[in-house]
Structure 1
Amino acid sequence: MTDSENTELARTVLPRTAVPAGLTDPVESARAELRAALAAIEVRGNFPRRIEKATARGVVRARAFAHRNPIGAGAAVVAATATVGGLVWVIARAISR
């Protein structure tokens, strides 16, 4: 392959969940559709990975907020702690009655 072919190939890389256009062979088309469907199912159904990515995004956002506004971040931590403590107290009180 030449450099221009490599550049063209790099520009046309599709996501795993996409079916490439221009497939004329019905068998290859069906295989590509099946691969794309299975990849989409994996992406949508892999909850641990989705939760991990969402948690990482949340941590990045929280750190950026704490960097921009340290007093607001401290207040948010105090409010969250008071909320969780109050919830635990209400549940413990309800169980003890």
Structure 2
Amino acid sequence: MSVERPLPVPKTAVPLGISDPVEKARAELKATLAAIEVKANVPRRLGHAVDKTVARARDFQRTNPVGAAAAVVAVAATVGGLVWLAVRAYTR
């Protein structure tokens, strides 16, 4: 025998089975505001993206240390070259 547990409802969804129109409207408004907050909260989304990128970079560094060192050198050379070009263009 399996006991059926209700699935958790995401905060951006309206739960099923609400029969009272006022409660349904409140649930829809709450879900809409949560969806707007999730979509419009750029700093939080940026923070999550940075965290994921850092985790991927650390995993890459653990699995391929030589490749990670080469990537760091390549990025440093690229940034240095761009700075050199910008200064050279500015001084001419």
In the superposition, the TM-score normalised over structure 2's length comes to 0.90
**% same residue:** 58
Q: CA deviation at 1:24?
A: 1.1
Unaligned runs of 5+ in 1: none
Q: CA deviation at 1:88?
A: 0.9
State the Cα deviation string for residues 28-76 of structure 1 (Å, max 9, x = none).
1111111001001111111111111111111110010000000000000
Q: CA deviation at 1:12?
A: 2.3
Asked if 1:59 is matched to 2:54, the reply is: yes
Cα distance in structure 2, aligned partners of 1:92 and 1:17: 49
Unaligned runs of 5+ in 2: none
Structure (1/2) with the larger helix percentage: 1
2:15 to 20, 45, 62: 20
In the superposition, the TM-score normalised over structure 1's length comes to 0.86
> How many residues matched?
90
Q: CA deviation at 1:89?
A: 1.0
Indicate the RMSD between aligned Cα atoms, in angstroms: 1.4
Runs of 4+ deviating beyond 3 Å: none
